[in-house]
Amino acid sequence: MNEFSYSRATSLRDAVRSQDKSGKAKYLAGGQTLLPSIKQLLDAPERLIDLSGAGLDGIEVGRKTITIGAMTRHADVAASAQVREAIPALADLAGRIGDAQVRNRGTIGGSVANSDPAADYPAALIGLCAIVHTNARKIPAEKFFVGLFQNALKSGELITKVEFEIPTGAAYEKFANPASRYAIVGVFAASFDHVMRIGVTGAAHFAFRWAEAEGHGLGVKDLSNVSLDQSRFNSDLYASATYRAHLVRVLTLRAVSRL
Amino acid sequence: MATEENTGIGASVLRKEDRRFITGVGRYTDDIQVSGQTYAAFARSLWARARIDKLDTGVAAAMPGVIGVLTGAEMAADGLGGLPCGWLVKSKDGSDMQQPEHPPLAHTHLNFVGDAFAIVVADTEEHAQGAARALEQSVEVTELTPVVSLADATQSAPIHEALTSNVCYDWEIGDKAACKAGFAVADRVVEVELSNNRLIPNAMEPRAAIAEYSTGTDELTIHTTSQNPHLVRLILAAFVQLAPEHKLRVIAPDVGGGFGSKIFVYSEEVSVAWAAKKLRRPVRWTATRSESFLTDAHGRDHLTKAKLALSSEGKFLAMQVATKANLGAYLSTFASSVPTYLYGTLMAGQYATPAIHVEVQGTFTNTCPVDAYRGAGRPEATFVVERLVEMAARQLRADPAELRRVNFIKPDQFPYQTPVALVYDTGNYEASLSQALQHADYAGFAARQRAAEGRGKLRGIGLSCYIEACGLAPSQLAMNLGAGVGLWESAEIRVNPTGSVVVFTGSHSHGQGHETTFAQVVSSTLGVPFDQVEVVHGDTGRLDFGLGTYGSRSIAVGGSALIRASEKIIAKGKRIAAHLLQAGIDEIDFQDGVFSVQASNQSVTFAEVAFAAYIPNNVPTDEVEPGLAEKAFYDPENFTYPAGTHICEVEVDPETGKIDIIQFVAVDDFGEVINPMIVEGQVHGGLTQGIGQALFERGIYDDNGQLITGSYMDYCMPRADDLPNYVVDTTVTPCTHNPLGVKGCGEAGAIGAPAAVVNAVTHATGMKDISMPLHPEKVWRALQRKRRAA
C-alpha cells in the first residue's frame, strides 16, 4: 500500500473546500472498494477526505419519497424501521449487499458514486425513479449511470443524498456470482399504482431501465420475446452475455410476480 | 477404555488447542518477531514462459530501505542445488521419469507466472515489495510460446530445453491383456471422458518463513509453515546443500491449514534461509494471498478416458483408464507419485473387478506445479470409478445402489488382492452402504422427487462408494516403487519425575487436533490424566526425525509409534515396580495407571514409579537404568483402507441452472475412532472441499498462461450458506495390522464427495455427463441442449 494523507471533513462545506482544485483528493465514503484497490496498488491517491463526520448520514421519510443520506451505511438501511415500512424491498436489497463487514462500513453514496456494474443499489435507484442529490444539482437515476464505472458526476462533485419514490409495491431478485457475491444480474421491479418500473444491474456495463418489459404490465407471464438490448452486456467466467440476458428475463418475471 | 472423566480412546474430548486458537493467542510463523529482522519480497515472472536476457539489480538495490537484492544467478554461483522430487516414477519401458532442473530461484528461464527469480530484502515489507515490483518491470526477457493446455502439451515442443518432450513419464499398472480379454467378452461397455478440475489449496494461513543465522555457532534456524519440518531440513541439507543437517533447525509452529500444500519444499523458504545466511540478518516473508494463488502447489488437473466392461448380469469384468495428469512447470516434492501410485492403485474401488489397466502420462505445462491436495490421487480415482459405475447403472436401468452391491468385494474375501497392487486388509462395504441408504431415506426419494417437480425443481440423488489407501506406508514397499524416503513415524515418551508426560511425535498437526487425540491415546495407555499429557510436534531441534502429516497417516502410523513407545514405558515401569514392591517382574500387572502384584493388594501408581525412576532410592541402578523415557520408530505393515458411502441429494432450478444441495450423508469406516468429534469435524471439512470441487472451484489459466482465478473474486470457495447440514455416521471394521485398529479420516470427505454431487446432478437433470465445477450457466446450457434435442 502506498502512503497517503488522511483528513476527516466535519461538514459538507468542509468536504467540498478540502478538495483540491485539481480534484485529485479522493473522498472516502466507507472505503469498501477504494481501500482494497489501494492495498492492491490499483489506486494510489495522495489524499483521502473521509466523509464519515460530515453529517451526511440519516434517513428521512416524506409523503411520497424516502431520502437516504449519502453516508448512510447499508446495514442501517437494512435495519431501518422506516425503510422497512415504506419500501421493504429496498431494505432487503441493502441487507444482501456484500457481507456483514461491507454492510457495516459501505455507504449508499459510496456505492452509487463507484457505479460498479454489479452493485445492487443502482437497480433500486432506477426501479424507484430515484434522484441523486449532489452539492451542485439533482440528477435522475436514469441519467446518472452512463458507463462502466462511469457516472454523471463531475470532478470534485459530491453526492449528498439519494431520494427514492415510495412505490405501491417492489421486489428485488438477485442472482449472485458464487465467488464474489456481486450481482451477476439483479432486477428491481417496482409498481406505482398500475405503472411498472424495472431496473437491472449486473447484466450490462451499467445499470439500466428495461422499458420494453415495463409496458407488458403487472400480469406479465412471458418475457421471452421482449426486446432487450445486449450490446453492452457483460461476459465473464461465471456468466456469458447470453446467460445474463436469459437471467434478466427470468428474474424480472420472478420480481414482478412478487409485486 | 475411557477414564472416569471420559478423556480416553473413543471420547469426544474438546480440543486442547482450541483455547489458544479461538482466543487468538496461537503462535503462527508470522506472529514471531525477531530482533533485527528484515523483510523479503520476491520478484516473480509475469510471463508463463520466457528466457531471462538481462537482470540489472542496480536500480532496485538503490531503492529506499533495500538491504540486499539476491538473484538466481548468485544462488547458482553459491553452489546451491535444485529442489528435488522425492519419488522416482518409471515409465512403461523401464526408463526413469524426466526431471527438469528446478532451481529455487530461476536464473535462465521463467516457467510459470509467479516463478521467483530474485529475493529482495529491505527494512520494511513495503520497501521490499516496491523493489521487487521494480525488478519485475525491469528484467529483460525474451518471451517464449507457453504450453498451457494439458490436452495439447504432449504434442507441443518441450518447455524445458533439456528434456525430449513434455512427458515426464508414461506409466502403467495392471494387466493390459487381461483387461482386453474382459472387454472382448463384455455384454456392455460404458465409456466416459472426464476432467478433474485444477484446485488451488487456499489454506487459511498463507505460507511464511523466518530465518535466523547465528554467526557465532553457524546455526541456521528456520520457522516455516510446514506439514513436515524434518523433510525441509533434509532437503535443505542434502539436496540444496545450504547448511549441514546438524546446523539446521526447522520449526513449524502453529500452522493454519495445509491440505497437502505445506508438505512440499518451496523456493521461498530456501531463499529466505539463504538470504539470512548471506546478509547476516534475520529475514522474514509471509505470502500475500495473491502469491498463495500463484505459487502454492495446485491440486488435481487430469483428463481421463475410461471404460468399464460389464456382463449381462451387471458384473464388472474389466476397467481401462487412460489419464493425462498435469504436473505444472516443475516437479514439486511428491508430484510424480500423486497421479500414479496414489491414483492408479485405487481403481479397484470397493469392487471385485477382476482386470484393471491404468495408463498415466505425467505432463509438463507452463503452470504452477501440481502436487498432493487433500486426497491426492484418490479423489481423482474415486471420481473415475464412481462416475463409470453410475453411468453403467443408468444405462442398464439398474438401481445404482444395487449395481454397486452386487459388485462389492464381500467381507469374506479379505484380505483382498486387487488387480492394481494393493491388498485390502479388511472392510464391509455393504454395511456402510446400507447405513447410508437408511440415513438418506433412499426408499422415499421418488416421493421427494415428485414433490420437487410440483415446485418446478429437478431433484436427484447420487451415490459414491469410495475407498482410499492411507497410512503411508510400508517403507520397503514404497521405496521399491520409487519413494525417496521411508514412510515410518517416530514417537518418544518422556515421563517427568512427577508423573506427567511429554509426548514427542514426528507427525505434525496443522488443524487435525493431534495435541488432543494423541494425548487421549497416551492417557489411556499409561493411565496418566489427560491434562498431564503434553504433545510436542513440529521442531527438528526437539524431536527425533519424523515424516510429518499427510495422506491421513498420523493416527495410523504416528499413533502406532506412540503405542510402541508406551509399551516400552510400561515394560520398564514394571521392572521398577517389581523392585519397589519386592516382587518378581512376571508377577507385576499394569492397568489404569497402577502397577500391582498379582493376587495381592500391593501396588504402586504410575507417578510413584516415575518418581522412583529418577530418584532411584529402592531401585538398583546396575539392574535398571535410571530415567523413564522411551522411543519407537514404527513402520506400517500395509496401507490402511478407509472406505464408505456418500449420498448427495440435490435440487436443480431448471430456469437458472442453480444447484441446491438438500442433503448430504456420509457413512465412513475409519476403523476404530479415537475422538468422534474430531473425526466428524475432519469429515465436515473434507466434504466441504469435495463439494467445493464439484460445484465451485477451478483454477483457470488463459491461453497465455495467466492465472485468471487469482483472487476470491473469481476463485469460488464453498461457504456455509452453500451447504446443507451434513449427516455423518460411521461403521467399524478395525484395521488388522496396527495396534489401535485405526485407518485415518482426514481425506475421506474430499475423496467421496465430488462423485456423489455430480451423480446427483446428472440424475436430477437426466444428463449423461457434465464437467466440474457445475456452475449454473453450464448446467443451464446443458439443459437447453437437452431440451432442444428432445
CA distance B200 to chain A (A): 14
Environment class of B8 (CB within 10 Å of its CB; exposed 0-12, middle 13-18, buried 19+): buried
Q: What are the structural domains of chain A?
A: 1-52 (3.30.43.10), 169-257 (3.30.390.50)
Report yes or no: B660 at the A interface, CB cutoff 8 Å. no
Residues B630 and B647 in one domain: no
Q: A14: exposed, middle or buried (C-beta count within 10 Å: 0-12, 13-18, 19+)?
A: middle
Write down the pLDDT at residue B5: 65
Q: Do residues B445 and B451 touch, judged by C-beta distance below 8 A?
A: no
Q: How many beta-carbon contacts under 8 Å exist across A and B? A: 38
The pLDDT value given to residue B222:
98
* C-beta atoms surrounding B625 within 10 Å: 12
User: Stretch B636-645: mean pLDDT, rounded?
Assistant: 97
- The reply to whether residue B696 touches residue A178, judged by beta carbons under 8 angstroms, is yes
What is the share, in percent, of chain B residues with pLDDT greater than 70? 99
At a CB cut-off of 8 Å and minimum separation 6, what does A207 contact? Answer: A117, A119, A122, A123, A125, A126, A145, A199, A200, A201
Asked if B666 and B724 touch (Cβ cutoff 8 Å), the reply is no
Is residue A174 within 8 A of residue B658, CB to CB? The reply is: no
Q: Do B446 and B567 have their domain in common?
A: no
Interchain contact, B777 vs A240, CB within 8 Å: yes
Cell output for B390: 453410475
Query: Is B442 contained in some domain?
Result: yes
Residue B716 pLDDT class (50, 70, 90 cuts): very high
Same domain, B281 and B347: no
DSSP 8-class letter at A194: T
Do B423 and B279 lie in one domain? The reply is: no
The confidence score (pLDDT) of residue B643 equals 98
Domain boundary residue among B587, B616, B634?
Answer: B634
Task: State the pLDDT at residue B2.
Answer: 44
Reply yes or no on whether the pLDDT at B142 is more than 60: yes
Cis peptide, bond prior to residue B773, ω within 30 of zero:
yes
- Residue A41: what pLDDT? 83
**Are B397 and B362 in the same domain?**
yes
Cβ-based contacts of A178 with chain B (< 8 Å): 695-696, 716, 722, 775-776
Coil, strand or helix at B556: helix
- Domain assignment of residue B308, yes or no: yes
> CA of A158, closest CA in chain B: separation in Å?
29
Q: Show which residues on chain A lie within 8 Å of chain B, measured between beta carbons.
A: 1, 40-41, 175, 178-180, 237-240, 243, 246-247, 250
Final residue before a domain boundary, out of B602, B634, B666: B634
Distance to chain A for B713, nearest Cα, Å? 5
* DSSP class per residue in B386-412: HHHHHHHHHHHT--HHHHHHHHBPPGG
* Record: contact A237-B714, CB cut-off 8 A: yes
B658 CA: distance to closest CA in chain A (Å): 9
The pLDDT assigned to A179 comes to 96
Q: Which of B585, B601, B634 is the last residue of a domain?
A: B634
Q: Are residues B589 and B509 in the same domain?
A: yes
Instruction: Give the DSSP letter string of A11-49.
Output: SHHHHHHHS-TT--SEEESS-TTHHHHHHTTS---SEEE
Nearest to B772 by CA among B785, B788, B790, B753: B753
State which residue of chain B sits closest to A98, comparing Cα positions.
B713
In a domain, B226, yes or no: yes
- Average pLDDT, consecutive stretches of 10 residues, N- to C-terminus, chain A (259 residues): 89 90 85 92 91 97 97 98 98 97 97 97 98 97 96 93 98 97 97 96 97 92 94 96 98 97
pLDDT at B618: 83
Q: CATH no. for residue B403?
A: 3.30.365.10
pLDDT band at B3 (very low <50, low <70, confident <90, very high): very low
Chain A residue with minimal CA distance to B721? A178
Region B319-330: mean pLDDT is: 98
Residues B779 and B689 in one domain: yes
User: Are B317 and B210 contained in the same domain?
Assistant: no
B702 touches chain A (CB under 8 A): no
With an 8 Å Cβ cutoff, are B696 and A179 in contact? Answer: yes
Q: In this structure, what C-alpha cell is assigned to residue A227?
A: 426486446
- Shared domain check, B746 and B734: yes
CB < 8 Å to B713, chain A: 179-180
Average pLDDT score over residue span B162-176? 97
Domain with B239 in it: what CATH number? 3.90.1170.50
Residue numbers in B near A186 (CB within 8 A): none
Rounded Cα distance between A92 and B283, Å, is: 50
CA dist list (Å): B646 to A134, B27, B508, B527, B730 = 58, 36, 28, 37, 11
* Residue from B202, B655, B693 whose CB has the most chain A CBs within 10 Å, to mutate: B655
Contacts of B706 (CB under 8 A, 6+ apart): B48, B113
pLDDT for position B1? 45
Task: Give pLDDT tens digits for B81-116.
Answer: 999 999 999 999 999 999 999 999 999 999 999 999
Lowest mean pLDDT, pick from B163-167, B447-451, B507-511, B679-683: B507-511
Q: What is the mean pLDDT of residues B737-756?
A: 97
- For B291-308, what is each residue's pLDDT tens digit? 999 999 999 999 999 999
Least confident piece of the model among B49-63, B344-358, B482-496? B482-496
**Claim to verify: residue B290 and residue B354 sit in the same structural domain:** no
Same domain, B56 and B138: yes
Contact criterion met (CB < 8 Å) for A243 and B780? yes
Q: Tell me B470's DSSP state.
A: B
- Judge whether B685 lies within some domain: yes
The Cα B518–Cα B504 span in angstroms is 10
Q: Is B100 within a domain?
A: yes
Say which residue the cell 505459487 belongs to.
B295
**Residue B772 placed within a domain:** yes
Are B492 and B544 spatial neighbours (Cβ–Cβ below 8 Å)? Answer: yes
Nearest residue on chain A to B658, judged by CA atoms? A175
List C-alpha distances in Å: B588 to A252, B440, B574, B579.
82, 52, 6, 10
pLDDT score of B226? 97
Report residue B631 as a C-alpha cell. 522411543
Task: Give me the pLDDT at residue A23, please.
Answer: 64
Contact residues, chain A, for B696 at CB < 8 Å? 178-179
Q: Are A59 and A66 in contact (CB under 8 A)?
A: yes
- Contact state of B775 with A246 under an 8 Å Cβ cutoff: no
Band of residue B617 on the pLDDT scale cut at 50, 70, 90: confident
The whole-angstrom separation of Cα B691 and Cα B696 is 8
pLDDT tens by residue, B192-216? 999 999 999 999 999 999 999 999 9
Instruction: Test A180 with B656 for CB contact under 8 angstroms.
Output: no
Q: Are residues B649 and B775 in the same domain?
A: yes
Please give the C-alpha separations between residue B162 and each of B144, B165, B266, in angstroms, as whole numbers. 15, 9, 22
| Contact residues on chain A for B655, CB-CB shorter than 8 A | 250
Of A179, A239, A247, the CB nearest to B713: A179
Domain assignment of residue B587, yes or no: yes
Confidence of residue B486 (pLDDT cuts 50, 70, 90): confident
- Reduced to 3 states (helix: H, G, I; strand: E, B; else coil), residue B468 is coil
When divided into structural domains, chain B yields a total of 3
Range of the domain at B725: 302-472+638-789
User: To the nearest whole percent, how much of chain B has pLDDT over 90?
Assistant: 96
Q: Return all residues near B636 (Cβ < 8 A) that are at least 6 apart.
A: B471, B473, B474, B487, B488, B556, B557, B560, B737, B738
The three-state secondary structure class of B368 is coil
